[in-house]
Structure 1
Amino acid sequence: MNRVEATIFAASEPVGRETLARIVGRSCSIDLLIDDIREELRGRPYDLVAVAGGWKHLTRPAYADAIRAAVGASERTVDLTHSEVLVLMCVAYFQPITRGELSSFFGKEISRDLIGHLRGAKLIASGPRSPTPGAPYTYVTTKEFLLEFGLDTLRDLPDFEALEDAGLLSKDKLLAGEVLPEFSID
């Protein structure tokens, strides 16, 4: 258990199941070890979290203000505009997706600069070429996207249907280019 915890603590990236299996042997239950470590960390200001296909030590959200006050904002934190957040949301839910499809969602051209900023932040990357005429590039989210938003996999995104039921999103409105005014693309 200590070897697993030490390895995860020392790693700069999430540590995957295969790496941990090499440390403790394939016959050992990684999930039970992780559960035991998490139990020992209960009440501590940090936890062992499944993120981006592995495990990583992360501080608990309750301590975010104290950490910011002590050391400032994380240099990893990405500053996104409202428009970039909306486009990123569409990429996450509808990937692989082309820039043209994104533009039709919003009823307005999505600029190469906006896509470039999301690519520069390593939140999206090129996906497979679209089978449509001209074979445009598609975009998909990245491992850095999962890390930035604390997700283990895309299945951890909020359920789209639940968001629709709560009145927060409407796939039909997105597809029709009728984004709510307070969520419009700049």
Structure 2
Amino acid sequence: MAGSPAARPSRRKVNAADGRLYDRELEDLPPEMRWREWMMRVEAVIFASTEPVSRETLARVVGKDCSIDLLIDDLIEELRDRPYELVSVAGGWQHRTRPRFAETIQASSAPTRGGAAALSEFEAMVLVAVGYFQPVTRSELSKIFGREVSRDIIAALRGAGFIGSGPRSPTPGAPYTYVTTLHFLSAFGMETLGDLPDREALEDAGLIRRKTIEPEEKNLTSDDDDF
């Protein structure tokens, strides 16, 4: 037991040394080989990740003066003739199969990674409404559609990782609100919420409607406190 405290600093030193040993700058390589190695590092990190990889993450594996944007541009060009591409989604980059191969992959029945979980039509519309009106309560969602949005629907969207809890509503009862997640953007190939379908077109089609919610209508009880 007496030797344990001395062992811990030793492990910290080893870890710190490991960090110093990783060569980000690659100054011993000619410029062209250095750039090529940085490209492969960036592609390897993106390929291995199950979620979009941020600029900050990629910057950890390349030189401090390396342009991430130029590296990405070169990788996109290199993959131009491949069945997959590098796309910008949810504030980062991710490999995605090109849309024209979707039918082929479906026909193969091969297991795939990522993507969007299967949703019913109404679940999908509730998810879109959360995207437009977040943070939004379950009661407000019910008013938007003119029909009840059940706890089961909220649970399904949470379980799929598409929505999470937002701040408590400032209305009486302080019900939970819901917001979309980064996984929502990633799964549907969106960079930001600005990539959502045009709201007015959906309203004109009668798919969603935003009713004016008067203060007295927002006297919510604990029935809206789902999670």
Report TM bin, short chain: 0.7 to 0.9
The alignment partner of 1:27 has SS state of coil
Q: Which runs of 4+ in 1 moved over 3 A?
A: 71-77, 170-173
Partner of 2:44: 6
1:152 is displaced (CA, Å) by 2.1
| Structure 2 counterpart of 1:175, one-letter code | R
| Structure 2 counterpart of 1:35, one-letter code | D
Rounded Cα–Cα distance in structure 2 between residues aligned with 1:47 and 1:80: 26
Residues 57-105 of structure 1, C-alpha deviation per residue, up to 9 Å, x if partnerless? 1110100111122234647541211111111110011110011111111
Seen in structure 2, the aligned counterparts of structure 1 residues 75 and 19 have a Cα distance that, compared at 3 Å, is: closer
Partner of 1:54: 92
Q: Which moved more, 1:53-62 or 1:1-10?
A: 1-10
Rounded Cα–Cα distance in structure 2 between residues aligned with 1:28 and 1:168: 43
Q: Does 1:102 align with 2:136?
A: no
Rounded Cα–Cα distance in structure 2 between residues aligned with 1:84 and 1:32: 39
8 Å Cα contact 2:137/2:177 also seen in 1: yes
Q: Which has the larger radius of gyration?
A: 2
Q: 1:133 aligns with which of 165, 172, 177?
A: 172
1 or 2 for the larger relative contact order (CA 8 Å, sep ≥6)?
1
Residues 2-33 of structure 1, C-alpha deviation per residue, up to 9 Å, x if partnerless? 21112212222221101111111332111111
Mind listing any 5+ residue stretches in structure 2 that lack a counterpart? 1-38, 213-227
TM superposition score normalised by structure 1: 0.84
TM superposition score normalised by structure 2: 0.69
Rounded Cα–Cα distance in structure 1 between residues aligned with 2:202 and 2:190: 20
Q: Does 1:28 align with 2:66?
A: yes
Rounded Cα–Cα distance in structure 2 between residues aligned with 1:123 and 1:98: 15
Partner of 1:123: 162
Q: 2:203 aligns with which of 147, 169, 175?
A: 169
Seen in structure 2, the aligned counterparts of structure 1 residues 4 and 74 have a Cα distance that, compared at 3 Å, is: closer
Seen in structure 2, the aligned counterparts of structure 1 residues 73 and 106 have a Cα distance that, compared at 3 Å, is: farther
8 Å Cα contact 2:51/2:186 also seen in 1: no
1:138 is displaced (CA, Å) by 0.3
Rounded Cα–Cα distance in structure 2 between residues aligned with 1:137 and 1:129: 5
Rounded Cα–Cα distance in structure 1 between residues aligned with 2:111 and 2:124: 19
1:115 is displaced (CA, Å) by 0.8
1:170 is displaced (CA, Å) by 4.1
Residues 82-135 of structure 1, C-alpha deviation per residue, up to 9 Å, x if partnerless? 111111110011110011111111122211111111111111111010111111
Residues 35-70 of structure 1, C-alpha deviation per residue, up to 9 Å, x if partnerless? 111011112111001122211111101001111222
Mind listing any 5+ residue stretches in structure 1 that lack a counterpart? 178-186
Q: Percent identity?
A: 60
